[in-house]
Amino acid sequence: MRDNMKKLLVLLLCVALVFAFTSCGSKDEPQQEEQEDTIHEEIVDDSEDLDPNDPANDPVEQTEEEEGEEEEVTEPEETVIEFREDKEEDLATLQETAENSTEPHTGTYIEIVAGRGIIIVNKFTDVYSVVVNWSDSAYESYEWTFTGNFDSDGVLEYSDCLKKDIVYEVEEEGEVSVVYKNGTGRLRLTGEGLIWEDDMEHVADDADFVFSGM
């Protein structure tokens, strides 16, 4: 009888332990599921706060921007230097052509007061082609180009002048902009060179250009 009672007590104790463990497990599972639901809701809330139209929230655009920044390898100073060298080379070529010409009045004329302005006179076929270059500073110069012919009084009238503003450093690059077209004026031959009369802005009033060679 006592043995039976012991067996019964042991059995009841085992059943009680199993029930206790099962109850704990079932209580923990809802808590875990509740935590997972909370984390998911927080992630969803954060993603809803992001503006889909904002490029900063687009990982693809951010990657492209980073790649674009890495591709910028050209040195700005080299760009400016190359631009200036190209302009100076073009001007030197015109001077060389004018000075090697055998046509009358062709050559280079230099402004004698400040020495910053030059007039290059070339003749192609039956028309004189004139380029005036005037340096305003180390970073900017102006260029006028026009055509015409000298009359018997040594005056070249023109009405097709194109003025350009050449800036050697704009946003770390060179830039050429047109100031005006179809400007009018004249060149007058003197005993030693030229006088330039600019009808548009009178930039060369009181300036004499001396012939430097042919």
Question: pLDDT > 70: what percent of the chain?
Answer: 57
Determine the average pLDDT of the residues in 73-85: 57
DSSP at 185:
E
Q: Which residues, other chains included, contact 125 with Cβ-Cβ below 8 Å and sequence gap of 6+?
A: none
The whole-model pTM stands at 0.59
Q: Kindly report, residue by residue over 12-65, the tens digit of the pLDDT.
A: 666 566 555 555 444 444 555 555 555 555 554 554 555 555 555 555 555 555
- Between CA 45 and CA 49 the distance in angstroms is 6
Instruction: State phi, psi for 41 to the nearest 5 degrees.
Output: -65, -40
Are 109 and 212 contacting, i.e. CB atoms less than 8 angstroms apart?
Answer: yes
Largest CA distance in the chain: 153
The mean pLDDT of 181-200, rounded to a whole number, is 95
- Give SS3 for 25: helix
Please check the confidence at residue 191 and state whether its pLDDT lies above 90.
Answer: no
Tell the residue number behind the tokens 């990657």, with chain if given.
63
Q: How far apart are CA 198 and CA 205, in angstroms?
A: 8
The H or E element spanning position 184 is: strand 173-189
Residue 90: pLDDT band with limits 50, 70, 90: confident
74 falls in which pLDDT band (50, 70, 90)?
very low
